[in-house]
Chains A and B, each alone.
Chain A
Amino acid sequence: MLSSIFEFLFKHQRLVFEQGDFGFGATRFMSLAALVAGVAAVYVVWTYRRLAAVPRRDRAALVGMRIALVAIVLFALMQPMLRLKVAVPQENFVGILLDDSRSMQVADHNNGPRSGFIQEQLGRPDAPLLTELGKRFQLRVFRFSSSAERLQSTGDLKFEGTGTRMGEALDRARDELSGLPVAGLVLVSDGADNSETTLDEAIAGLKSQAMPVFSVGVGRERLTRDVQVTRVETPRRALKGSSLVIDVVVTQTGYAGTKVPLIVEDDGRMVSTQDITLPRDGEAETLHVRFKVSDIGPRTIRFRIPVQGQEEVAQNNQRDALIDVYNRREKILYLEGEPRPEAKFVRQATDEDDNLQVVLLQRTAEATVSVPDKYLRLGVDSGEELINGFPATREELFGYRGIILGSVEASAFTPDQQRMLEDFVDVRGGSLLALGGGRSFAEGGWAGTPLSDALPVVLDPGSRGPQYPPAELVVRQSRTGENHPATQITDKPEEAPAKWRDLPPLTSLNPVTEVKPGATVLLTGVPARGTEQVVLAFQRYGRGKSIVMPVQDTWMWRMHAKMDLKDQTHHTFWQRLVRWVVDGVPDRVMASVSPDRVQRGEPVTITAEVSDPEYKGINDGRITASVTSPSGKVENVPMEWTVEHDGEYRARFTPSEDGLHKVNVGGAAKDGRDVGKGAVNLRVAPSDAEYFDAAMRAPLLRRVAEETEGRFFRADETSRLVDAITFSGKGITVVEEKELWDMPIILMLLLGLMGGEWMFRRSRGLA
């Protein structure tokens, strides 16, 4: 409507004004006309000055109108015009890129699928838009989804592509049309690009060859009725029996406030369900889903919300994640500097977990001048293990996956052993949990030691040792702790607040109140007097994580008189805490694939980090990735040391079968020693990415158009598309002049001003 009015008033469409260069046709006449206009203006002012009887304001109005009248006449006499570069008909090429992906099946274009626009406007030889384009340009039509190719017939479009890679499509069209006079590219898509790379390079290539893109966005920018499981963050590996807390991000439109179940399925078997209330339209809600992984092997975990009535996209109501559930006993070294109940109860809790082996090295007597420290060893694999106390070599210490440091003073370790503790976290990537006690933290002289650098809390170097009586702390979860796997003491999250409230207080001899930047506090303790203290906090440090729990008697959560005999809080807490301690701790050979889900024919990068027993990277090894496909075919892919990082090897592999692939990595070091083995799983399946964030992405399409000096159109605005390409100035063009002096707006202004002056005079009695 507005554009029609504009075109009526200004004779040409807006596009012509935007693309054209403004100028005047009567150059010689212009100076004479200006002189005459100036004289006329002076005369006007002079004549009105004589009218002393007319009020000043009225005179100003009359002068203004008369001057405007003269100016418009002068403007018209100067023959204003627009100069445009117009594409020469049939001398230029236009590439048409048609989105052939699944998301074009979404039914949000004129009550039909998005593909309907392509079928109607471009799908037949006599389709209107195709015909209009064909009248002026030589056309080259491409289809694209995961790949792009020339299209002989638009009837070949299936709209079943499992990806949208606009960048590759634009590159392909540019390459094919390179060297030809190109007026522009027409990109017809919903813009739901889901490639791994950005469009920056594709856009730069188009700019360098002056190829404008005229993008046509099909579909609505916002779906009206849709529920989407937007993101699921799962670990790639999990120890058998682990209770996982997974963040699931849900978005929706049209169902705000509706209660729906969020279902978790392990290879089709339901393992968890919880009712959720859908957030407001367009808002993302992060939900914390809890479930246990009990079956070993690669597990496909599905997070699903049942399809609601009248949903526009049903396929985005579920997300799959692959978790490799492994089964082994994780070995943790627990060093306790004094016999105390904490260690005994920790072992009681963890002994009930078949996947945990807490080896206790408990000092029962301190060294004298002639006798070394005396230790009690529990849970060791052999009589030789830890026979000489705390490990003296990195190789021995790094054999454990976690360390629990009880109440033991810093001076119990040699300087090298203290560095080993730090390296255990930093280099080996293990986890260290420091417990409270009279010999722990600052009270145990740990301030200023290498380990203190790794800890997530600040130790007071001026500590005067443990102060009795200890602080009694009522333990509370922090906001982060409410949804952290280590601090889940109930199976049902709604029962957790009451459970935490009812737990007996713990005591602490280590007043730790300050955490380092980057540390995360999971539990805090509130004393009767004084400031809130840290009860459980952690931080990433190097490759591993360090954790502190500066309390001395979590066993009260088992023994205290108020705890029911059947209450499993203490055992649950410690089992989950220790499982978290060893979670993510690397092996000597760590294999990974990126991405972990691809489609058949898509390459995947296999990366392996290979370390020696001291967890120093092994370079120049003969490392091989052995990929076993679902049919049993084994393909050995040699891996190359990347040189960028010690011990890092890479290889590329392109699967040719759908299904789960097992990637085993192994080999030998330069000196022939076996480096060990690592494994990872790779899913090869058609991608469902097309159904996620499936609304038309106008900003992306607009960006591609504007950065290449093209123009963005919505599907229902394409009537000016052909003109836009015609006037783009690209390709073989001729200059066309569009006169403006006869625009209706000029005549209307002249008549309006004259009529206005006459009416003004009449109203003032001057006529």
Chain B
Amino acid sequence: MTIRRLRLVLGLAIVVAASVIATPSAQRGYSQSYSGNVRYDGKFVFVRLSYPWYGGRGAPWAHDWPRGEEHFLKIFSEITSVQMHVTESSIMSLSDPDLFKFPVAYMAEPGFWGMGDEETRNLKNYLLKGGFLILDDFRNRDWGNVDLNFSKMFPQGQWVDLDASHPIFHSFFEINSLDIIPQAYDAGRPIFRGMYLDNDPNKRMFVVAAYNTDMSEFWEWSDRGYAPIDVTNEAYKIGINLFMYGITH
């Protein structure tokens, strides 16, 4: 990552933030612009996975939606050459067969994630065929639920803590230290964990869990001064790397 490109990112973040602030939906404080999933046409689509939720208030899978992806996609498209749908995104359940047309998927608050047999089979096939899953926005005891769900799919699967040397931290930006990753919660360091095919680090990693942090929280509020721009910038960088890795690896 060159100094010039970092400056570019920073500048763009500010520009995007300013432009988003100026939009009517943002001024309402919460966008409700979802009007159905994006039809597959070969371009990248931000796919947010949904799962059953029977509690009150908003569903956890929808945390930071839609402003998180709206902001992220603007930065992602400006910085990279990925051909994508910038102003649209999709929400898909794990049983949706169309999920297989989008090889990278994002899930928020997996601490509340539950799935039946069909969803378990579908997601397992998705990951084994070549799909890539990004888990974000969870902490503490949430990990147990993530581990439980993955053990349903991969009883022998082992999570591996990733350090800064892992290619995922170099797929676009050169992130040489994980200390720069912002902490969205109250305590502890963000931890990135992955799982490989056949538990073999020489094979493909099909999931990355951004545990004990919340990247999309920074994306969502990047137009509100919720966090310093430098910190928000790091959240964008790690997000871009994770998605870039999912698209390319």
Contact = CB atoms under 8 A, between A and B. Distances in A.
B103 A337 contact: no
B80 interface: yes
Interface string A498-539: 000000000101000000000000000000000000000000
Given A338-B81, A340-B247, A364-B81, A559 B129 contact: yes
A369 to B, nearest CB: 10
B248 interface: yes
Contacts of A339: 44, 80-82, 244, 247-248
Interface residues of B, number: 33
Contact of B4 (A371, A469, A556, A558): A371
B42 A376 contact: no
Contacts of A337: 81
B100 A365 contact: no
Nearest to B249: A344
B101 interface: yes
A638 interface: no
B97 interface: yes
Interface string A562-605: 11010000000000000000000000000000000000000000
Contact of A561 (B4, B41, B97): B97
Contact of A338 (B8, B83, B103, B129): B83
Contacts of B42: 340, 437-438, 470, 507, 509, 552-553
Given A348-B204, A556-B101, A469 B39 contact: yes
Interface in B8-65: 8, 39-42, 44
A371 B5 contact: yes
B92 to A, nearest CB: 12
A115 B169 CA distance: 82
A368 to B, nearest CB: 7
B156 interface: no
A363 interface: yes
Contact of B131 (A362, A468, A509, A559): A559
B128 interface: yes
A470 B249 contact: no
Contact of A559 (B41, B103, B204): B103
A565 B248 contact: no
B80 A560 contact: no
Interface string A418-460: 0000000000000000000110000000000000000000000
Given A348-B204, A376-B171, A340 B82 contact: yes
A344 B80 CA distance: 17
Contacts of A552: 42
Interface of A: 337-341, 343-345, 348, 360, 362-366, 368, 370-371, 374, 376, 378, 407, 437-438, 468-470, 507, 509, 552-553, 555-556, 558-563, 565
Interface of B: 2, 4-5, 8, 39-42, 44, 79-83, 97-101, 103, 125-126, 128-131, 171-172, 204, 244, 247-249
Given A341-B247, A365-B172, 6 more contacts: A339-B247, A344-B103, A364-B248, A371-B2, A469-B39, A469-B41
Top-10 shortest CB links A-B: A561-B97, A561-B100, A339-B247, A338-B81, A341-B103, A339-B82, A366-B81, A552-B42, A559-B100, A469-B41
